[in-house]
Amino acid sequence: DGSNSSQGVSQEEFLMRDEMYRARLQALRSEELSLMKERERLDLEKTRHIAELRRLRDEEASRFSATPVLGGRYVLQHLLGRGGFSEVYKAFDVVELREVACKIHQLNTAWNEAKKQNYVKHTVREYNIHRQLDHANVVRLYDVFEIDTNTFCTVMDFCEGGDLDAHLKENKMLCEREARSIIVQIFAGLSYLADPRRRVIHYDLKPGNIIFDRHGLAKITDFGLSKVMEQEDASMIDLTSQGAGTYWYLPPECFETGPRPPPISNKGDVWA
C-alpha cells in the first residue's frame, strides 16, 4: 500500500529482488567463464593457424620442397618444422616401410672452416651417442647420410603426438594420473641412459625435448648437448659446454665459476 511505498520496499520484496540479483550475477559469472574459455580456444586456434602459416612459408622456401626422395629411400612428405640450421621433414622409408622424421642439417656457407668443423664435430658426437640407444622412451636414430658438401641428414622415429611443452600450454593443467604416467616414462628413459653400460648425460632435458608418438608414449629426444662419462669409475665429468642448455632447467652447479669447469652427473637430468 501507500505506506509501504513511502517507507521503501517490504522485506518480502527485498528478498525477492536479492534472490533475483544473485541469480543474475551467477548467470553473468557463468557467461564470463564461458567467454573466457572461448577466448582461450580462439587464442589456441590462432596460435596453431600462425604456426601452420609459418610452416607452409618455410616449406615453400626450403630447397628440399621439390626433392621427392633423400638417400634413395626416404620419400619426403611435408615439412614438420625448422630450426636455426636444420629442417625436419616427415618421410616414408620405402625399404623398412615405416614413417620416419628426416632432420636435414645445413652448414652456413658463410661460416669459416673452423666453425664448420666444430658444428660437424658436435653433430658426429651426438650421432655416435644416439645411434647406440634403443629404448621405448628414447627416440630411435636409424640412419645418417651426406646429401652434399654442406648438408647431411639424420633419420629418426616419427612421433606425431607433439611435444610436452605444447601439451602443457594447451591443457594448462594435467590430471594426477596423466602427470604421473608421463613422469614415470621420462624416468624410465633416464634410467636407461644412466645405466653403467651407457652412462649418458642428456643435459638438455625440458618439456620441448619430450615428444609423444601416436599412442601417447613419451620419448626423450635431442641429444645435441649430451655427454658420456667414459671413465667407468667416474661419478661426474667436467662441464665443457658451460653456457649451453636451457637455463630454466639446469641445476645450480652448472652456473658455478672458477678456474676449472664445474663437475656434472646424471643428477642434472633428474633436476631438470
The residues assigned a catalytic role are: 204
**One CATH from 1.10.490.10, 3.40.50.300, 1.10.510.10, 2.40.50.140 for 173-271:** 1.10.510.10
Q: What is the pLDDT along the chain (272 residues), one digit of tens a residue?
A: 444 444 577 888 889 888 999 999 999 999 999 999 999 889 989 988 998 999 999 999 898 988 889 999 999 999 998 877 789 999 999 999 999 999 998 887 788 888 888 777 777 777 888 888 999 999 999 998 888 888 889 999 999 998 999 899 888 889 999 999 999 999 999 999 989 888 888 888 999 999 999 999 999 998 877 888 765 554 554 454 544 667 788 888 777 776 776 677 788 888 88
169 is known to lie in a ligand binding site: no
What CA–CA distance (Å, rounded) separates 195 from 2? 90
> Has domain 69-157 been given CATH number 3.30.200.20?
yes
Which letter, b or e, does each residue of 127-157 get, where b requires 16 or more Cβ atoms within 10 Å of its Cβ?
Answer: bebbeebebebbbbbbbbeeeeeebbbbbbb
With 0.85 as the threshold, say if the pTM is over it: no
Q: In this structure, are residues 76 and 88 in contact, taking their beta carbons and an 8 Å threshold? A: no
- Domain-wise residue ranges, the chain: 2-57, 69-157, 173-271
Q: Give Cα 137 distance to the centre of its chain.
A: 14
